Amino acid sequence: MKNKNKNFETDAVRAGIERSQFGEHSEGLFLTSSFVFKDAQEAAKRFSGEEPGNVYSRFTNPTTKAFEERLAALEGAEQCIATSSGMSAILATFMALCKPGDHVVVSKSIFGTSVQLFNNFLAKWGLSISFVDLPDLNSWEEATMKNTKFYFLETPSNPLTEIVDLKKLSQLAKSKKVKLIVDNCFCTPALQKPINHGADIIIHSATKYLDGQGRCLGGAVLGKKRLMNEIYIFLRNSGVTLSPFNAWVFLKGLETLKIRMNQQSDNAIKLATYLEKNKKISKVYYPGLKSHPQYKTALRQQSSGGAVLSFVVNGGQKVAWQIINKTKVMSITANLGDTKTTITHPATTTHSRLTQEQRDYSGIDNGLVRIAVGLEHIDDIIADLNI
Ligand SMILES: *Cc1c(COP(=O)(O)O)cnc(C)c1O
């Protein structure tokens, strides 16, 4: 790994840099689909893999490689494979590492599109899937079968910020010879490094906090070289490739990741504390609050509560919509991971395809509002909410 250092802050700005003959200071952007060879012999060696080097940007590009090395340094992973989106990172992982007849146990509180990918496509190709309650270790154990290959989850979950004890779950996984996959989108390695708690594979939607400013789509899978090699071959053959331009944007995003995550978490705890005292709010979900049921676990595995919180207003959907519609500073959008604060009503947007019964089961109240807190001044965020 190029320019790997000891500390997160240093790796965030320097890991992965390999300067070209021009001695550029900032990371070079190699917008090229293919690469030229000195002679036919070199071309043959590059194609066969006998000699390392760039061939074609579907599977080798220096800018993309710099992003992969930097993110691997930050997650403490052996290798990273960058992909075109968070969804393609998940697709590549399961396509490359599973076969028909394999079984996976999946937290029921994962990103909606990930549920669709499992149920509508991966299942069609012979993967069987059991959904379980994220914080409940017994439900993971009970769902595990002889042919279970992976556990898959996000912690904290969206939008209710439930937490699973990663250390305990990874111990269970090891005892059952199951590999643990964590979608680390919400915390990023700035706040939580699942590999240190026993996870085998990390997945990212780089679209969110790694970019941090809402510009590009991208994703990544990280883990041990042996597993990543399978995913690399899938990427090479399927083309779920990250654009080098997006990789360059993400390299720049990673430089400020930690200060953004820390500042946005600071704003989030202030907002959560304010909301918890408000009489018009019946419940606040935020892992940085002492009232959160997994507060102690969160403190152990995350360096802060993160930047996403949600709350239930008295008066259901009508009042929730009134609050959202009155905001002037925040953006009304279901996206998150931006420096701009976003506000959304999960029951009628991200979770609208569920039936009322499924929403009740998942705790998505009609009065629930989710905020992904950005970098604006906290006083302006609180004033904008006006509750
Ligand atoms: C957004 C998101 C994804 C999907 O990522 P895309 O880059 O939009 O494809 C996956 N997991 C989580 C937790 C997300 O928030």
Q: Where are the domains of the chain?
A: 8-255, 260-385
Helix 62-75 with 244-255: angle, nearest 10 deg: 40
Query: Any idea which fold 260-385 has?
Result: Aspartate Aminotransferase, domain 1 (3.90.1150)
Q: Which atom of ligand 1 is nearest to the CA of 89?
A: 9
- Residue 165 has phi, psi (to 5 degrees) of -75, 105
Q: Which atom of ligand 1 is nearest to the CA of 185?
A: 13
By residue count, the chain amounts to 387
| Strands in the chain per DSSP E | 79-83, 103-107, 128-132, 148-154, 179-183, 201-205, 219-223, 281-285, 308-313, 331-332, 342-344, 368-372
Is residue 250 in contact with ligand 1, taking CB distance under 6 Å?
Answer: no
Which CATH code is given to the segment(s) 8-255? 3.40.640.10
Neighbours of 43 (CB within 10 A): 15
Q: Round the average pLDDT of the chain to a whole number and report it.
A: 96
* pLDDT for 355: 85
* pLDDT for 363: 86
Instruction: Please give the Cα distance from 382 to 363 (Å, whole number).
Output: 25
* pLDDT for 6: 80
Residue 86 Cα to ligand 1 middle (Å): 5
Burial class (CB in 10 A: 0-12, 13-18, 19+), 102: middle
* pLDDT for 211: 98
Low-confidence ranges of the chain (pLDDT < 70): none
- Residue 188 has phi, psi (to 5 degrees) of 65, 165
Pocket test for ligand 1, best of 84, 87, 116 (most atoms within 8 A of CB): 87
Is residue 205 in contact with ligand 1, taking CB distance under 6 Å?
Answer: yes
* pLDDT for 277: 96
Token pair for 61: 């590009």
Residues facing residue 129 across a β-bridge: 104
Is residue 305 in contact with ligand 1, taking CB distance under 6 Å?
Answer: no
Global pTM value: 0.96
Buried b / exposed e along 126-136 (16+ C-beta atoms within 10 A): ebebbbbbbbe
Q: Which atom of ligand 1 is nearest to the CA of 218?
A: 7
